[in-house]
Amino acid sequence: MTMRKILVGAMAALLLIVSLAPAAFAQDANRLSQLKISIWPEYDTPTVLVLLDGTLADKTNLPRSVSLLIPSNANLTVTTWENADGSLAPEQPNQSVDAGDGFTRVTFTINQPNYHVEYYHDLLKGAPDKSMDWQFKSATPVDQVLLEVQQPLKATNFVLTPTTSTTRTDASGFKYYSYQFANVTTGQVLTTQAKYTKSDPNPSFQAPPSSQLPSSSASAPTTTSTASSSNDNLLLLAGLVGLGLIVILGIFVYQQRSRAVEELTANKMSPRQFQRQRRRARGTEGATVFCTKCGNPLGPDDNFCPKCGAQRRVV
Q: Which tops the pLDDT comparison, 242 or 143? A: 143
Write the pLDDT tens digit of every residue in 82-133.
999 999 999 999 999 999 999 999 999 999 999 999 999 999 999 999 999 9
Nearest-CA neighbor of 47 among 115, 130, 103, 104? 130
For the segment 255-272, what is each residue's pLDDT rounded down to a tens digit?
767 665 565 555 555 555
Mean pLDDT, to the nearest integer, of 190-204?
96
Q: What digits encode the pLDDT tens for the residues 148-190?
A: 999 999 999 999 999 999 999 999 999 999 999 999 999 999 9
**DSSP string spanning 219-252?**
HHHHHHHHHHHHHHHHHHHHHHHHHHHHHHHHHH
**Interhelix angle for 271-285 vs 215-267, to 10°?**
110
pLDDT of residue 227: 46
- Residues 144-175: b if buried by 16+ CB within 10 A, e if exposed: ebebbbbbbbebeebebeeeeeeeeeeeeebe
Strand 32-41 and strand 142-151: the pairing is parallel
pLDDT grade for 277, boundaries at 50, 70 and 90? low
First-to-last alpha carbon distance for the chain, in angstroms, is 171
pTM above 0.85, yes or no: no
Please give the residue that has the higher pLDDT: either 241 or 218. Answer: 241
Residue 87's Cα: distance from chain center in Å? 15
What is the reported pLDDT for 206? 81
Give the model confidence (pLDDT) of 1-45 as tens digits.
455 554 445 455 444 444 544 444 445 788 999 999 999 999 999
Rounded CA gap, 75 and 122, in Å?
9
Residue 105, strand partner residues? 69, 97
**Ordered structural domains, the chain, with CATH:** 27-206 (2.60.40.1730), 241-315 (no CATH)
- pLDDT for 215 equals 46
Is the pLDDT at 194 greater than 90? The verdict is yes
Over the chain, what is the mean pLDDT?
80
What is the per-residue pLDDT for 266?
53
Q: What is the pLDDT of residue 139?
A: 96
Could you write out the three-class secondary structure of 167-202? EEECCCCCEEEEEEEEEECCCCEEEEEEEEECCCCC
**pLDDT value at residue 223:** 40
- Split at pLDDT 50, 70, 90, the class of 209 is low
Question: pLDDT per residue over 41-83, tens digit each?
Answer: 999 999 999 999 999 999 999 999 999 999 999 999 999 999 9
